[in-house]
Structure 1
């Protein structure tokens, strides 16, 4: 799904395992209750099953506002 969305929007994906110190700290800070946690521009966006429609809307809004 990220490949499809990435064809339209420039994405930089960084995977961080929740079992690492960095992953636990990020999950706590971002309020991620379970994987996968998704942040956009460092801000919490979603966790768990990711909605392609919701992601596209958020990225489009950032593109038109930014």
Structure 2
């Protein structure tokens, strides 16, 4: 069963683009279900508040906070194994 990855993003966010690129790369070898949600949307704000996401990108793995801010590819790959 694929891991559900939710990425809370915002416009003009270099770290958001980096997070999406890392996840696309990982998805080539691991089954991921990636959902991107705009942080400024009502749903995005609700998720950010409930999970303690301070700024973009917020990354949730199967509904649990993994990280926010600059993504660590090494840490993300390790967690997804």
Is 1:54 equivalent to 2:75 in the alignment? Answer: yes
Q: Using the alignment, how far apart are the partners of 2:32 and 2:66 within structure 1? A: 14
How many residues are matched? 60
Match of residue 13, structure 1, among 28, 34, 54: 34
Higher helix proportion, which one? 1
Structure 2 unaligned segments of length 5 or more: list them.
Answer: 1-21
TM value normalised by structure 2: 0.70
Between 1 and 2, higher relative CO (CA 8 Å, sep ≥ 6) is seen in: 2
Instruction: Indicate the residue corresponding to 2:14 in structure 1.
Output: none
Structure 1 unaligned segments of length 5 or more: list them.
Answer: 61-66
Higher strand proportion, which one? 2
| RMSD of aligned alpha carbons | 0.8
